[in-house]
């Protein structure tokens, strides 16, 4: 009888241990519930103090995970193995996720702070009526450069990058839409162009840029530019702000031909378990003081017009990060190109990278 009881206890302990380990893994991999809120966001894209504040106000435990590309995020959500209550994709990804049925509609009645969002950033083509997404941050793609390392030369245009004097001085961000778009804009084409003749012209122009390109890199571009390992970089505006804070010799410019105006919005994936908590979090992040705090920490532009009152005057009046209406008219939002055309962009970008070798 003692042997039977011992065996029973052993089995019970093993079962309990397995359940505990499974629960721990599930929590770390994006499985949530009513007492937790699982957020899937870009790296270093929220003030950690705001997460603690939200937990204190709501009693919810936040599980925070990060991704490094829209494609990686969409793949994980579409596979359905992990549950995320809130995610923060870019505009073209939102359009794609809507098409694939990966998003739940947002109840605006539960987001009273939506009234603080600037109307310019609402009801855009990728999500009419903001049925599935709420603005989080916005910004541009542009050029950051170190005038001191360039002999005092000033950059105002995409076409300036082809100057032979900039040999081996340019770092490119590793993104097909950004770099193919840069070449298209330099030719005065739309960065959503689907004309293959125009795209081949853009590819040829990129090939001509090769002598000036030092490397194509990821997040390390910020450290490399701040440490003056290169004089010029193609970056997102928020990264530019962070780099300039590290090194005051750098400046950021929105090229005169125009560039990308991007949006990252908060969404509720279809597999969310804590839908009520997701609405609470979205509304919390739209509180003007919280939005201002987050913008100061991250360095990107806030779409929250009320939050601007809590930001330093020199920040909100800086047209590099809050461009004038005249300049804003030259900016384009990425459109969902469809699988076939997006694959063509990626192929051209890969060919350019191989050409450099």
Q: Mean pLDDT score of the chain, rounded to an integer?
A: 90
In this model, does residue 68 exceed pLDDT 50? yes
Confidence label for 355 from pLDDT (cuts 50, 70 and 90): confident
Confidence label for 9 from pLDDT (cuts 50, 70 and 90): low
Q: What is the mean pLDDT of residues 163-176?
A: 95
CA atoms within 13 A on the CB side of 26: 14
CA–CA separation, 3 vs 220, rounded Å? Answer: 60
**pLDDT single digits (tens) 137-169:** 999 999 999 999 999 999 999 999 999 999 999
Biggest distance spanned by C-alpha atoms of the chain: 89
pTM for this predicted structure:
0.81
Q: What is the mean pLDDT of residues 184-210?
A: 97
Q: What is the mean pLDDT of residues 123-129?
A: 94
Per-residue pLDDT, 21 = 42
**pLDDT single digits (tens) 269-326:** 999 999 999 999 999 999 999 999 999 999 899 999 999 999 999 999 999 999 987 8
Per-residue pLDDT, 330 = 87
Per-residue pLDDT, 24 = 47
CA–CA separation, 300 vs 61, rounded Å? Answer: 26
**pLDDT single digits (tens) 222-249:** 999 999 999 999 999 989 998 999 999 9
Per-residue pLDDT, 326 = 81
In this model, does residue 63 exceed pLDDT 50? yes
- 139-261+332-356 fold: D-Maltodextrin-Binding Protein; domain 2 (3.40.190)
Give the domain ranges of the chain: 36-136+264-322, 139-261+332-356
**pLDDT single digits (tens) 11-39:** 555 555 554 444 444 444 444 557 999 99
**pLDDT single digits (tens) 329-341:** 889 998 888 889 9
| Greater pLDDT, 293 or 355 | 293
Least confident of 77-86, 190-199, 207-216: 77-86
CA atoms within 13 A on the CB side of 130: 21
36-136+264-322 and 139-261+332-356 in the same fold:
yes
Report yes or no: 134 and 266 within 8 Å, Cβ to Cβ.
yes
User: Which residue in this structure is represented by tokens 């359009």?
Assistant: 95
Q: What is the CATH number of domain 36-136+264-322?
A: 3.40.190.10
310 assigned to a ligand binding site: no
| DSSP state letters, 206-249 | HHHHGGGEEEEESTTHHHHHHTTS-SEEEEEHHHHHHHHHH-TT
Q: What percent of the chain has pLDDT over 70?
A: 90
| DSSP state letters, 293-320 | HHHHHH-SBP-BTTGGGGS-HHHHT-TT
Per-residue pLDDT, 20 = 47
């Amino acid at each position: 009888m003692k042997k039977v009881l011992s065996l029973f206890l052993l089995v019970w302990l093993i079962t309990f241990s397995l359940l505990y380990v499974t629960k721990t893994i599930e929590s770390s991999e994006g499985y949530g519930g009513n007492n937790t809120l699982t957020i899937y966001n870009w790296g270093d894209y929220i003030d950690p103090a705001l997460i603690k504040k939200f937990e204190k106000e709501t009693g919810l435990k936040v599980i925070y995970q990060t991704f490094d590309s829209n494609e990686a995020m969409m793949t994980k959500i579409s596979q359905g193995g992990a549950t995320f209550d809130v995610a923060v994709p870019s505009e073209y990804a939102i359009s794609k996720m809507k098409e694939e049925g990966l998003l739940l509609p947002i109840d605006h009645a539960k987001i009273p702070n939506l009234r603080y969002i600037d109307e310019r950033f609402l009801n855009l083509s990728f999500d009419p009526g903001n049925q599935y997404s709420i603005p989080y941050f916005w910004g541009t793609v542009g050029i950051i450069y170190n005038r001191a390392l360039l002999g005092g030369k000033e950059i105002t245009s995409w076409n300036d990058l082809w100057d032979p004097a900039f040999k081996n001085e340019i770092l490119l961000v590793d993104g097909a839409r950004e770099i193919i778009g840069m070449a298209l804009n330099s030719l005065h084409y739309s960065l959503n162009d689907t004309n293959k003749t125009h795209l081949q012209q853009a590819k040829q122009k990129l090939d001509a840029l090769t002598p000036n390109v030092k490397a194509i890199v990821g997040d390390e571009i910020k450290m490399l530019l701040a440490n003056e390992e290169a004089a010029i970089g193609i970056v997102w505006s928020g990264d530019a702000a962070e780099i300039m804070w590290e090194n005051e010799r750098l400046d950021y410019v929105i090229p005169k031909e125009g560039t990308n105006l991007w949006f990252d919005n908060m969404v509720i994936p279809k597999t969310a378990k804590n839908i009520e908590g997701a609405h609470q979090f979205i509304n919390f992040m739209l509180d003007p003081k919280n939005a201002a705090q987050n913008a100061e920490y991250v360095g990107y532009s806030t779409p929250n017009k009320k939050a601007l009152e809590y930001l330093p005057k020199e920040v909100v009046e800086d047209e590099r990060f809050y461009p004038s209406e005249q300049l804003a008219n030259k900016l384009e939002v990425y459109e969902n190109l469809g699988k076939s055309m997006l694959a063509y962009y990626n192929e051209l970008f890969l060919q350019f990278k191989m050409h450099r070798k």
